[in-house]
Amino acid sequence: MATVDKKTGLRRRHLRIRKKISGTPERPRLFVHRSNKHMLASLIDDTTGRTLLCVTTTANEFASPEKETKTDMAARLGQIVARKALELGIEAVVFDRGGHPYHGRVRALAEKAREAGLKF
């Protein structure tokens, strides 16, 4: 029963956030999805409904022989997203934490993306 309550709370928070923010072609939305094991970051243009970029921790870039914590993987994901966004010519984004608290892995991703050159 508790997992149903957590999922509905997460969905409610995400819908409340989404009422206030949306991505444009000049400033797309950086959406973060966090699961128990992996993370996904997407750049979305909400005016056309297109996903401009999608990077996940299940990609080949994250296959490394040494053990890495989930927070370290999220930080590396933030760097990769920022690098690829800058290659596409995107310098500024709107951050959408997806209803998750700005803490832990979500915070690590956001801080490393800012350090790598994204503005939000």
Q: What is the CATH number of the domain that holds 15?
A: 3.30.420.100
Tens of pLDDT, residue by residue over 87-120, are 999 999 999 999 999 999 999 999 999 999 999 9
> What residues contact 84, with CB distance under 8 A and at least 6 apart?
53, 55
Q: How many C-alpha atoms does 111 have within 13 Å on its Cβ side?
A: 12
Report the number of distinct structural domains present in the chain.
1
Provide the domain limits for residue 100.
Answer: 2-115
- Determine whether 48 is exposed, middle or buried from the number of CB atoms within 10 Å of its CB (0-12, 13-18, 19+): exposed
- How much is the pTM? 0.88
Is there a domain that residue 94 lies in? Answer: yes
pLDDT for res 1: 53
Say which residue, 105 or 66, is predicted with more confidence: 105
Residue 75 resides in a domain: yes
Question: What are the Cα distances from residue 22, in Å, to 37, 54, 105?
Answer: 27, 17, 22
Kindly report, residue by residue over 16-25, the tens digit of the pLDDT: 999 999 999 9
Percent of the chain with pLDDT over 90: 82
pLDDT of residue 2 exceeding 90, the answer is no
* Cα separation, 119 vs 55, whole angstroms: 18
Is 99 among the domain residues?
Answer: yes
Contact 95, 120 (CB under 8 A): yes
Q: Establish if 120 belongs to a structural domain.
A: no
